[in-house]
Amino acid sequence: MSIKPLIILPDPILRQVSKPVERVDSDLRKLADDMLETMYDAPGIGLAAIQVGEPRRLLVIDLAKEGEEPAPHVFINPEILESSGQRSVYEEGCLSIPDYYAEVERPAAVRVKYLDRDGKLQEMQAEGLMATCLQHEIDHLNGVLFIDHISKLKRDMVVRKFKKLAKEKAPGKMVG
């Protein structure tokens, strides 16, 4: 297992649309394990493959709190089958947008189908934080970030700040 470097805003990699996983093999399971290790190290409660530079439709989630037994979930080629009309608001963060948090409104519950780490078709009815996290991660697979759900004014401020930070870190590398 290994911890992989995280892709940070405004890296255009985060805007790529990830490709469906064609086979659930040992290579893919190794990537899922590396993503879990990277997520636990951060620490975070979810991670999409694109956040470690892999444009594949794969995400991991573990909502267990500190001191609880780990509860790793691997979702491959996830699809939202149904979203509730009822909405809920959570304060979201993203490992690709460190130290920025904002309230996002999303459907309160979703039904999702996906392949598990054995390649077996599964369905999950999710609500609460699991529903929010699944939608946040599935957004990543489509090149969408949680800041796309906040006001343009706030989003522009965040993007500007991260562009400036990237410039300071790697002068000359960034364009724009």
CB of 139 to ligand GNR, least distance (A): 8
**Hey, how many other C-beta atoms are within 10 angstroms of the C-beta on 101?**
12
Is the CB of 67 or the CB of 165 nearer to Ni ion? Answer: 165
Q: Is 94 annotated for ligand binding?
A: yes
Instruction: Write the CA distances from 138 to 64, 126, 151, 174, integer angstroms.
Output: 20, 13, 20, 27
| Partner from Ni ion, ligand GNR, none contacting 93, C-beta within 5 to 8 A by type | ligand GNR
Q: Is 133 annotated for ligand binding?
A: no
Query: Which tokens is 106 given?
Result: 């999303």
CB of 83 to ligand GNR, least distance (A): 16
Q: How far is 116 from 95, CA to CA, in rounded Å?
A: 23
Is the CB of 25 or the CB of 105 nearer to ligand GNR? Answer: 105
Q: How far is 66 from 45, CA to CA, in rounded Å?
A: 11
- Binding footprint of Ni ion on the chain (CB under 5 A): 94
CB of 171 to ligand GNR, least distance (A): 27
The one-letter amino acid at 96: S
- Binding footprint of ligand GNR on the chain (CB under 6 A): 44-48, 51, 90, 92-96, 132-133, 136-137, 140
Strands (E), the chain: 46-48, 58-61, 73-83, 87-94, 97-107, 109-115, 121-127
Q: Is 54 a catalytic residue?
A: no
Is the CB of 47 or the CB of 115 nearer to ligand GNR? Answer: 47
The one-letter amino acid at 34: D
Query: Which tokens is 9 given?
Result: 């805003």
Catalytic residue among 91, 123, 137, 168: 137
| Partner from ligand GNR, Ni ion, none contacting 44, C-beta within 5 to 8 A by type | ligand GNR
- Cite the active site residues: 137
